[in-house]
């Protein structure tokens, strides 16, 4: 037991967000052995550190780890020191090593042994599942952004504390094991093997990654010799060919645009079912399977565009985020705003007919609306606690950040902006940058007052499209693609028809049912191309009821037929668009007990079923919070933001008062803000109610003809 004097020594580190600057890591030699049966892992790490201040302590980050007794020691060229006390501070996620005497200044090596659990929370070093020939298997995956490397190995887990990484993995011999760098040596010992990966360039801890499991892959090389692979579930490698093509072309585009080549010898992209979104780990990008895989026979154009945007976004990070990294999470927008802007730039270059900047306007408008909430925040956010780091990964950072860059691009002109960005990348390569550094470079290159221009906040609001406009657009677009139509028109067809279906436009509902039943009778019918399925699915669910379940049962049968994650997501989203509360409750209960439960954070429910969804959420809240952690915040927001009642806002606030975690507090507060915005909007139009009713009646849809009822 620590004495009172000893306790007071390590107590000085409690409550601090940033690590003390006693020492700086230079190189990690990390060895890990995951056990995919026992679902745990063990490891050792040797960290070359530069002691830069007089101290008897080394303080680094560690969380959810057991430090192996007697394994901690500090070596330099003269001596070996062991700590007199090893103390974990769980609240601060610190590992405090008290050596009882000042450490020698200069370079030394810190050695630590540790053990941990392969958790099921999709953060740190965690476990996922997949199937091969109908047999369920475990895999091991990492998700270290923003502050979860410390859950895999003790480290200085801050973005500015970059270091070199040499990684060794001990894994079952039949499995594929990937990390940031290529393997330079492999030793097989019967049923196990040791893989020795090349030493990495200097990088932040949150970008370190490993994936262990069974995969197929497709590969190709860029024109400058970079090997690119897309790893897919076994038997589905053809679904990776589209993402591979996008990646090859995008790497070429960024190499020219930045005038800086991709820095690593290889790039792997991995499709993982138990994953959320995508993560830009240096040289090993991880994706939720539906964000990477694409089958032209089973997925529509919207999925194709989604994959392209995600791939170009994550590849943009290889320069803006990985090569040049924000100095601290306060400057996160330098990573995510740039990657979002770059994804539109690259996608527009690769697929000009998509008119991707037109689609960006919709994202921009939605973010402006959110930016009016009292709980919104600036693009550059002061961080006061660990929980706030997870909270700031939102549309303000991504879309508003990208909007600022788009505005600056227009102000300076494309050529000046490109030269400025290229200089920024070269100047801060293998290092870290702050917002001020970016403005300084742009001012230097352009000679324009960039800092002054970038000061104002972007505040605006948008108006709802009138149903009449949608009807007219739908008349023009029809149900099936016309020869020579643009990709933008193809994308708009789905959005317009889906919106009309939700609004209850009877001709849209009738035509959707006709095409849906044609598809049920003949899977090859030309009436039901992939591109319109989502709109049709949503449409048929608008009339489904607990007492009239024909379309509901048919759509649920289609869910069981498909193995495609993207198609499952479309079907589940469509099922939840049903306005019948009983149906929605049944669907939610089905999902939470199915293999598709990982999709819950990305789903939303209909306005008419919001109360049923809220009741279900409250009943299952403990499980949802434990399973999805901060990722469940989006589902909460999508569920409760549909209300327009002060009483309901108070009820929601009261429910979450003692039932939340810090990382979703901001999301919940913003949802409550949205409810109050809804209330104010409803109140503001009350006195004009008669006038509005007259306007809408004059635009009634009864005069609109059916939407291209013919098959072509």
Angle at 411 (CA atoms; ends 406, 413), nearest 5 degrees: 90
> How many CB atoms lie under 10 A from the CB of residue 82?
13
Closest listed residue to residue 180, CA positions, set 265, 66, 296: 265
Strand, helix or coil at 228? strand
Burial track 221-233 (b if 16+ CB lie within 10 A, e otherwise)? ebeeebebbbbbb
Q: Which residues contact 691 (CB under 8 A, 6 or more apart)?
A: none
Sign of torsion over alpha carbons 50, 56, 61, 64: positive
> How many CB atoms lie under 10 A from the CB of residue 207?
25
Report yes or no: 534 and 570 within 8 Å, Cβ to Cβ: yes
Report yes or no: 243 and 292 within 8 Å, Cβ to Cβ: yes
- Return the H-helix or E-strand segment holding 638: helix 633-640
Paired strand residues for 211 = 141, 178
The pair phi, psi for residue 487, each rounded to 5°, is -65, -30
Looking at 314, 327, 489, 586, which residue is catalytic? Answer: 314
313 annotated among ligand-binding-site residues: yes
Sign of torsion over alpha carbons 107, 113, 116, 122: positive
Report yes or no: 141 and 148 within 8 Å, Cβ to Cβ: no
317 annotated among ligand-binding-site residues: yes
Sheet strands (E) in 540-616: none
Relative to beta strand 266-272, strand 284-288 is parallel
State both tokens at 85. 């006390």
Measure the CA–CA gap between 708 and 710, rounded to whole angstroms. Answer: 5
Measure the CA–CA gap between 651 and 647, rounded to whole angstroms. Answer: 6
| Residue matched to tokens 């290529």 | 182
Angle formed by the axes of helices 435-446 and 401-412, nearest 10°: 10
Burial class (CB in 10 A: 0-12, 13-18, 19+), 692: exposed
Question: Is residue 314 annotated as part of the catalytic site, yes or no?
Answer: yes
560 annotated among ligand-binding-site residues: no
Active site members: 314
Return binding residues for Zn(2+).
313, 317, 336
Return binding residues.
313, 317, 336
């Amino acid at each position: 037991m620590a004495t009172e004097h000893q306790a007071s020594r390590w107590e000085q580190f409690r409550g601090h967000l940033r690590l003390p600057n006693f020492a700086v890591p230079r190189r990690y030699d990390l060895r890990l052995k995951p056990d995919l049966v026992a679902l745990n892992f063990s490891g050792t790490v040797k960290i070359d550190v530069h002691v830069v201040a007089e101290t008897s302590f080394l303080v680094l980050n560690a969380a959810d780890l057991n430090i192996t007794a007697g394994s901690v020691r500090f070596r330099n060229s003269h001596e070996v020191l062991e700590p007199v006390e090893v103390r974990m501070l769980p609240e601060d996620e610190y590992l405090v090593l008290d050596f009882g005497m000042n450490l020698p200044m200069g370079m030394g090596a810190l050695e630590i042994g540790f053990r941990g659990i392969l958790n099921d929370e999709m953060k740190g070093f965690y476990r996922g599942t997949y199937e091969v020939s109908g047999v369920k298997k475990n895999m091991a995956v990492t998700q270290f952004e923003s502050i979860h490397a410390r859950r895999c190995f003790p480290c200085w887990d801050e973005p500015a504390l970059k270091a070199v990484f040499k990684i060794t993995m001990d894994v079952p011999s039949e499995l594929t094991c990937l990390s940031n760098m290529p393997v330079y040596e492999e030793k097989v010992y019967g049923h196990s093997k040791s893989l020795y990966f090349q030493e990495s360039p200097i990088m932040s801890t949150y970008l370190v990654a490993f994936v262990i499991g069974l995969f197929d892959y497709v590969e190709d090389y860029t024109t400058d010799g970079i090997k690119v692979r897309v790893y897919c579930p076994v038997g589905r490698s053809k679904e990776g060919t589209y993402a591979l093509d996008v990646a090859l072309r995008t790497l070429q585009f960024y190499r020219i645009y930045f005038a800086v080549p991709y820095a690593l010898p290889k790039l792997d992209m991995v499709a993982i079912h138990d994953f959320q979104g995508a993560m830009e780990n240096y040289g090993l990008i991880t994706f939720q399977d539906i964000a990477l895989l694409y089958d032209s026979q089973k997925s529509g154009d919207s999925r194709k565009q989604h994959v392209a945007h995600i791939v170009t976004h994550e590849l943009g990070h290889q320069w803006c985020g990985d090569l040049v990294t924000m100095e601290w999470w306060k400057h996160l927008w330098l990573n995510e705003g740039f990657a979002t802007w770059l994804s539109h730039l690259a996608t527009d270059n690769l697929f000009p007919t998509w008119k991707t900047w037109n689609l960006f306007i919709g994202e921009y408008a939605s973010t402006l609306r959110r930016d009016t909430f009292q709980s919104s925040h600036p693009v550059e956010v002061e961080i006061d606690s660990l929980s706030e780091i997870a909270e700031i990964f939102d549309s303000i950072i991504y879309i508003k950040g990208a909007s600022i860059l788009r505005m600056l691009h227009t102000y300076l002109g494309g050529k000046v902006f490109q030269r400025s960005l290229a200089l920024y990348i070269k100047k801060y390569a293998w290092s870290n940058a702050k917002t001020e550094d970016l403005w300084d470079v742009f001012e230097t290159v352009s000679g324009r007052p960039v800092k002054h221009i970038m000061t104002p906040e972007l505040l605006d609001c948008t108006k709802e499209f009138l149903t009449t406009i949608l009807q007219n657009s739908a008349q023009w677009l029809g149900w099936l693609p016309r020869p020579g139509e643009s990709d933008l028109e193809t994308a708009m067809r789905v959005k317009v028809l889906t919106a009309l279906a939700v609004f209850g436009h009877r001709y849209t509902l009738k035509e959707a049912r006709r095409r849906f039943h044609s598809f049920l009778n003949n899977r090859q019918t030309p009436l039901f191309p992939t591109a319109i399925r989502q709109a049709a699915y949503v449409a048929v669910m608008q009339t489904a009821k607990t007492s009239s379940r024909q379309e509901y049962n048919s759509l649920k049968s289609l869910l069981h037929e498909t193995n495609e994650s993207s198609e499952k997501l479309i079907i589940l989203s469509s099922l939840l668009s049903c306005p019948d509360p009983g149906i929605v409750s049944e669907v939610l209960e089905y999902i939470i007990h199915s293999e598709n439960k990982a999709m819950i954070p990305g789903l939303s429910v209909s306005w008419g079923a919001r109360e049923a969804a809220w009741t279900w959420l409250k009943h299952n809240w403990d499980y949802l919070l434990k399973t999805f952690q901060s990722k469940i915040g989006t589902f909460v927001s999508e569920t409760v933001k549909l209300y327009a009642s002060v009483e309901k806002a108070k009820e929601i606030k009261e429910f979450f008062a003692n039932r939340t975690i810090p990382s979703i507090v901001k999301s919940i507060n913003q949802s409550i803000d949205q409810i109050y915005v809804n209330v104010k909007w409803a109140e503001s139009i009350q006195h004009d109610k008669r006038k509005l009713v007259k306007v809408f009646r004059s635009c009634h849809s009864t005069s609109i003809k059916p939407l291209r009822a013919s098959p072509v």
